[in-house]
Structure 1
Amino acid sequence: MVLGFDLGASRKAAKQLRTAGDKARDRSDWDEAAEQYRQYLKIENDDFAIWVQLGHALKEQKKYDLAESAYERARDLKPDDADIHLQLGHLLKLTGRNSEAVEAYGKSYAIEPTFAAEMEMKSLGGVDEDIFLNAVSSQFKSKDVVYIELDDMLIYLEAHSTVSGIQRVQAEFARFVVDKGGLVSGTQFVFVINPPYQDCVWKLQPELVHDVVKYATGTKVDHEYLKRLIASVRSSAVRIEPSAGQCYLVLGAFWVFNTVSGRFLHLKRLGLRIGGYIHDLIPINQPEYCDEGLCHEFLLSFGDSMQVFDFILTNSHHTANEVIAYRKRLGLEPMPVEAVQLAHANKVTHDGADVWTPKIKGLKGKKFAMMVSTIEARKNHKYLVDAWRQFYNEGLEPPELVFVGRFGWRVHDLMNTLKQSRNFDGKLHILHGLTDGELNKLYKECSFTVFPSYVEGWGLPVGEGLAHGKPCVSSLTSAMPEIGGDFVDYVDPWNLREGIEVFRKMCFDEEYREARRLNIEKNFVIRTWSNFAENLAETTIRHHGAKINERVSQANFQPGIVFRPNELSFGKKLPTDYAVNPVRLLLSASWGAVEHWGSWMLGDRGEIEFKSPYKAGDEVVVYLEFFGAPFVGEDGYLTVVVGEGKMEMPVAGTHKYMKIPGDKSFVVKTSGKVGENGIVNVNVFVDGEVRLETDQPGARRFSVGIKAVAYSLKQDAISRSDIAEELVSGIVQV
């Protein structure tokens, strides 16, 4: 009995020590954490997790030798744990032992090919990149798999502490999928990130994704802590290669990485069905409301996606009709386009978060109308400012105005107006960075909501206000009537005179405003985010299973034409019908973003592919103008092979090689045969040592860039002569 009592007391003491260590760690008291963990490990010497935590605490104190010993003890306990080798790699890199760090990262990667280990090895260099190409973790073999891309949401939340618009869609769908255990109607939904120019995707841990979503949509958000959660999501992501017959859904801003081909073509050519969720076509149809750079890249990416996507889902019937009309206007063949309308909001509850926090307490006891959106020209905040100014000029006292949102694009005139009026002597309030809890409190307390935007793909704030039971005055344009129906009072965003009268009634006729509120309370049916997510999942599954004609994912490229990638760079005027023949797809998935001079090949292999008017077996001559990087190695050699499909590095002696001239343009002429369906495939390889751009971690590793592409039938001497004349650099035969 005494022995049992002592053992129990010892375990109780150990538990107290571990708890004390964890609490000290959470408040970043590393010295105290390390001491508590040490005492704990005297009792429980084989606790792997606490040896790791002790290593972390010692590393934070810069006691690197002791930290290394703690990590090594953990490694000895679990030699097949990928994370402990990763942590050892971090410590070794921190102490300048880079070659040992690479070895540790390599061991971690061999156990589980995580994003963190691969990025660390690439940043330190000196690694044969074939190990990345050949390292694929266990993957999903069933065709009943849909990959959900979350790059956009994670990148956004690294810069902002709360979700907004497009990111809200991804967050709420992710929440739904996790709640369903990843399985909807027999189909597995898998979260991934898909960085540009890679031949794989990275599977995210669903429970970590859920932690990010739950925290970012919570009542209190510390952005530094949120970024640590996101870092954990990224670092634990595992490399996988999707399989033919599976589906890939792009929910976010597909245009933000400067290339559709660099992110989706490799998936398309693996045999996946790709769907895109389109939020609006504003950068194409109303470019005056968007940044010039956004319009440029959106037109390119949307044009590319018209060839790459197999089906398109949209957030509203309005957006669906715009996509259909766009394709019809350009004479493109019909493709599946279907609206999956967004939510109004989740069912509203006011619990412990129903408080006046310091950010919003200045509105306590006041009557106010609220507009929630980024403050930018398209949202038309000035319309409200001018209407309220009219009321003040008449000696009236309308509810105060509250703008919730960060400042965006083209708001200089608005800001100047507000400055001159001193925000209507403090009666106009601008708030940003509110948590969901703070925003819900303001929705609860406001008199009504306003949303006079010129154009929207959907217009989330209209539905959110209705879900909170509040009357709304919104624009009668684009998708807004789909959200509000008869429950909203509408204005013409270009007609201020009539709009003032609508606002006058809502501001000053309390009986009318109450009648509108009661109508919402009795009759409005909220479409929740769960309703939306379930609809989106089922619609995606249906399109995935439908028999859709094979979509060509190559650009049509006519012989005798010289294509220069820099013609698509920012600052150049793009053809409005670019989607008819999206020539950027020539660059396949192995070339960087288009720059003012051309495009860099990434790594030691590249591919150019296009559809020709010729039949299989016809012989063509291909001309490529390259640019040798200034830092290419002395023994860097290039070869180009046409017409053999995608291939690995050729065996020495089977193809001709040429030395790459550094910091210089040169033209390569080579020949080969057209493949099936008129496809011409050009493989580009670099052999030998290729130097990094600098000796700093993360430096780019590339050797050649492409400046021009042209081709012709071998027997068409006139066309070949014209091409050669246009490409003025010396031509090298390979």
Structure 2
Amino acid sequence: MKIWYDVSDLVSWKLPHLTGIQRTTVGILNGLVEQVGDVGLVRYDVKAGRFFALTVAELPASVRCHIRDRAASNVAESETAATVPARVPSGRVASRPDRRRPSRFKMDLFRGTDGEAEELRHAFRQFKTATRQLRKSLSSWVGRRLRTSLRGGGLATPPHAMRDPTLNPLPAQDAATFIAAGDALVSIGATWGMAGHGRAVAAVRGRGVHVVRMIYDLIPTIKPQWLEPAYTRSITAWVRSVLRESDRVLTISEFSRREIERYCQESRFAPPALTVVRLGDVLEGSAAERSPAPLPRFVPGRPFFVCVSTLDVRKNHRLLYDAWTQLAVRRGGRCPDLVCIGTPHLRVADLLHEIGQDRAVNRHIHVLHGIEDSELAWYYANCSASIYPSKYEGWGLPVAESLGQGRMCLASNATSIPEISSDLPEFFDPYDVYALVLLVERVLDEPDWVQARERIIRERFRSTGWQETAAQVLGAITGAARETGAPVWPRLAQQRAAVAPSVVSMQGAKSA
């Protein structure tokens, strides 16, 4: 049996750094390669409607630099790079020797008072966010119009057809014959926007290939108020496809597993076995691996808290704004800074406008994006504490990252977040502004308490490496193969005995 690993969402990756799901995809791939050795890569081609094999060299450079077989060359480069002391007293942006000198046009464009330049930069960021959303909306609208025309005015995917796969026959597909019967296809990336991907997986599975896929959470399906309707419909159809056309479904928390079970019961169909895996939370270039940590591009001039999260309604940055509004009144010039690291997403333009125009807090709240792991490690190492106020999560990786750095974490007590650690974060209700204000002030006013808590965190919290996550994925693959009597590697059988992920079969539970 050979493992084929789906990297479809990495092939067209354009950002200079990896974010949540893509970091997970690469981290598990590195762990699988380390433990198995021979792992084939595949990508889905939308036009051809099938999978193709590819090599690491065909991935973008921003992805290749995180793949294990390129790590050696990166280490050699990092050893020759100049290091900078971990802290500076000023609030200026740290200079970098390799930074290009800005063009004369840019220098003239941003010349003026600090307030004028910041207002212009904020307006430009809002323009980019609005343009990106307009492009998505237009694409969704055109797609709906085309599907309606082709189907004579009917719905693109009638609800009854989604409920029963026998009422929605799949067209014939080229089933990527290089993937042999008895092999395993592992797909854990963001493939829900790829038309026909589910049909290609079904065609491969029909040839006797074991399919293992990942559902991180059901947020778009059961919490549609936070997303665009077209996106909700697309994700819901993808979720149903994953549950129907998989031999085993991975998820990232017991909370998500329970949500999937409940959704399947309400939809009246049984999914395949569910396996919970714990995500890796070790940062590349973290403070533990590199000392001292290099300076980031922006260094706050006051004590600061850090929130690492996409800027989204669900992530609850409104609570942070309200809390800092109170802190500015209560503490005056002693109000700390807040560094929000993440890319703006849906429905936060108005909030960012309020923050930018609010003279009481705009000098204290800083929104950054495009931050590398080495910079992120610096913010964790030098902040007063991290904050994670999310209303709903499938896991909550930044909480684990913060604890892994040995730092105090003020975390929401909602959904899956307490699974990361039930007693090491300082929890608060994500709808209680005053509770968060009191925790922030306690961190600032009681340094001895913070030091004692962080000492306990360093002693008791155990970070999870991506090799451990990959071992759990291997256990799920091996389990799916054994259920069908397919041969597996002898050492994988031993690996499965050593790392036993929780498996729940809805089919078995129903018959029991």
Q: Which residue of 1 aligns with 2:294?
A: 355
For residue 426 of structure 1, give the secondary structure of its aligned residue in structure 2. coil
Higher strand proportion: 1
Q: Which residue of 1 aligns with 2:311?
A: 375
Alpha-carbon separation, structure 2, partners of 1:321 and 1:273: 24
Whether the 8 Å CA contact 1:344–1:462 is kept in 2: the answer is no
**Cα gap change, 1:177 to 1:333, in 2 (>3 Å):** closer
Q: Larger relative CO (CA 8 A, sep 6+): 1 or 2?
A: 2
**Which of the residues 188, 194, 207 maps onto 2:44?**
194
2:351 pairs with 1:414: yes
**Which of the residues 13, 20, 29 maps onto 1:174?**
29
**Which of the residues 267, 281, 290 maps onto 2:218?**
281
**Cα gap change, 1:348 to 1:154, in 2 (>3 Å):** farther
Q: Deviations over 1:432-479 (max 9, x none)?
A: 111111111111111110000111111111111111111101111111
2:9 pairs with 1:152: yes
Alpha-carbon separation, structure 1, partners of 2:396 and 2:282: 12
**Which of the residues 230, 240, 248 maps onto 1:311?**
248
Whether the 8 Å CA contact 1:195–1:263 is kept in 2: the answer is no
**Which of the residues 161, 176, 183 maps onto 2:16?**
161
**Shift in Å, 1:508:** 2.8
Whether the 8 Å CA contact 1:404–1:431 is kept in 2: the answer is yes
Q: Which residue of 2 aligns with 1:721?
A: none
**Cα gap change, 1:352 to 1:486, in 2 (>3 Å):** closer
**Shift in Å, 1:240:** 5.9
Q: Which residue of 2 aligns with 1:388?
A: 324
Q: Which residue of 1 aligns with 2:466?
A: 529
Alpha-carbon separation, structure 2, partners of 1:353 and 1:207: 32
**Shift in Å, 1:321:** 1.2
Alpha-carbon separation, structure 2, partners of 1:268 and 1:257: 18
**Cα gap change, 1:394 to 1:423, in 2 (>3 Å):** closer
Q: Which residue of 2 aligns with 1:510?
A: 447
2:407 pairs with 1:470: yes
**Shift in Å, 1:197:** 5.5
For residue 190 of structure 1, give the secondary structure of its aligned residue in structure 2. strand
**Cα gap change, 1:403 to 1:214, in 2 (>3 Å):** same
**Shift in Å, 1:485:** 2.1
Q: Deviations over 1:305-349 (max 9, x none)?
A: 222122111011111111111111222135201101112325752
Alpha-carbon separation, structure 1, partners of 2:196 and 2:51: 16
**Shift in Å, 1:211:** 6.7
**Cα gap change, 1:277 to 1:209, in 2 (>3 Å):** same
Whether the 8 Å CA contact 1:456–1:479 is kept in 2: the answer is yes
**Cα gap change, 1:454 to 1:367, in 2 (>3 Å):** same
Mapping of residues 296-307 of structure 1, within 5 Å: 296-307=233-244
**Cα gap change, 1:319 to 1:419, in 2 (>3 Å):** same
Mapping of residues 556-567 of structure 1, within 5 Å: none
**Cα gap change, 1:193 to 1:353, in 2 (>3 Å):** farther
Q: Deviations over 1:183-216 (max 9, x none)?
A: 3xxxx43221122364642222247669754525
**Shift in Å, 1:165:** 0.8
2:454 pairs with 1:454: no
**Shift in Å, 1:281:** 0.3
Q: Deviations over 1:106-158 (max 9, x none)?
A: xxxxxxxxxxxxxxxxxxxxxxxxxxxxxxxxxxxxxx112110111333x32
Q: Deviations over 1:569-619 (max 9, x none)?
A: xxxxxxxxxxxxxxxxxxxxxxxxxxxxxxxxxxxxxxxxxxxxxxxxxxx
**Shift in Å, 1:353:** 7.2
**Cα gap change, 1:199 to 1:545, in 2 (>3 Å):** farther
Alpha-carbon separation, structure 1, partners of 2:177 and 2:459: 50
Whether the 8 Å CA contact 2:31–2:467 is kept in 1: the answer is yes
Q: Deviations over 1:477-513 (max 9, x none)?
A: 1111111321101111122233332333233322222
Whether the 8 Å CA contact 1:260–1:301 is kept in 2: the answer is no
**Shift in Å, 1:260:** 4.0
**Cα gap change, 1:391 to 1:451, in 2 (>3 Å):** same
Whether the 8 Å CA contact 2:243–2:271 is kept in 1: the answer is no
Alpha-carbon separation, structure 2, partners of 1:511 and 1:343: 30
Whether the 8 Å CA contact 1:369–1:447 is kept in 2: the answer is yes
Whether the 8 Å CA contact 1:344–1:463 is kept in 2: the answer is yes
Whether the 8 Å CA contact 2:221–2:236 is kept in 1: the answer is yes
**Shift in Å, 1:414:** 1.0
**Shift in Å, 1:380:** 0.6
Q: CA RMSD in A?
A: 2.7
Alpha-carbon separation, structure 1, partners of 2:360 and 2:295: 22
Amino acid at match of 1:152: D
**Cα gap change, 1:216 to 1:206, in 2 (>3 Å):** closer
**Shift in Å, 1:393:** 1.1
For residue 194 of structure 1, give the secondary structure of its aligned residue in structure 2. strand
Alpha-carbon separation, structure 1, partners of 2:58 and 2:467: 20
Q: Which residue of 1 aligns with 2:433?
A: 496
Alpha-carbon separation, structure 2, partners of 1:389 and 1:245: 59
Alpha-carbon separation, structure 2, partners of 1:150 and 1:353: 34
**Cα gap change, 1:277 to 1:514, in 2 (>3 Å):** same
Amino acid at match of 1:150: V
* Structure 2 stretches lacking a partner, 5+ long: 68-73, 82-95, 99-175, 486-512
**Cα gap change, 1:145 to 1:353, in 2 (>3 Å):** farther
Alpha-carbon separation, structure 1, partners of 2:185 and 2:360: 47
Alpha-carbon separation, structure 1, partners of 2:308 and 2:355: 17
Give the share of equivalent positions with the same residue, in percent.
Answer: 24
The structure with the larger Rg is 1
Amino acid at match of 1:153: L
Alpha-carbon separation, structure 2, partners of 1:296 and 1:334: 19
Whether the 8 Å CA contact 1:443–1:468 is kept in 2: the answer is yes
Whether the 8 Å CA contact 1:198–1:262 is kept in 2: the answer is no
Q: Deviations over 1:51-107 (max 9, x none)?
A: xxxxxxxxxxxxxxxxxxxxxxxxxxxxxxxxxxxxxxxxxxxxxxxxxxxxxxxxx
Alpha-carbon separation, structure 2, partners of 1:294 and 1:200: 23
Q: Deviations over 1:633-685 (max 9, x none)?
A: xxxxxxxxxxxxxxxxxxxxxxxxxxxxxxxxxxxxxxxxxxxxxxxxxxxxx
Amino acid at match of 1:356: L
Amino acid at match of 1:374: T
Alpha-carbon separation, structure 2, partners of 1:178 and 1:190: 9
Aligned length: 380
Whether the 8 Å CA contact 1:328–1:334 is kept in 2: the answer is no
Q: Which residue of 1 aligns with 2:374?
A: 437
For residue 395 of structure 1, give the secondary structure of its aligned residue in structure 2. helix
For residue 166 of structure 1, give the secondary structure of its aligned residue in structure 2. helix
Amino acid at match of 1:542: G
Amino acid at match of 1:193: R
**Shift in Å, 1:350:** 4.6
* Structure 1 stretches lacking a partner, 5+ long: 1-143, 223-238, 549-734
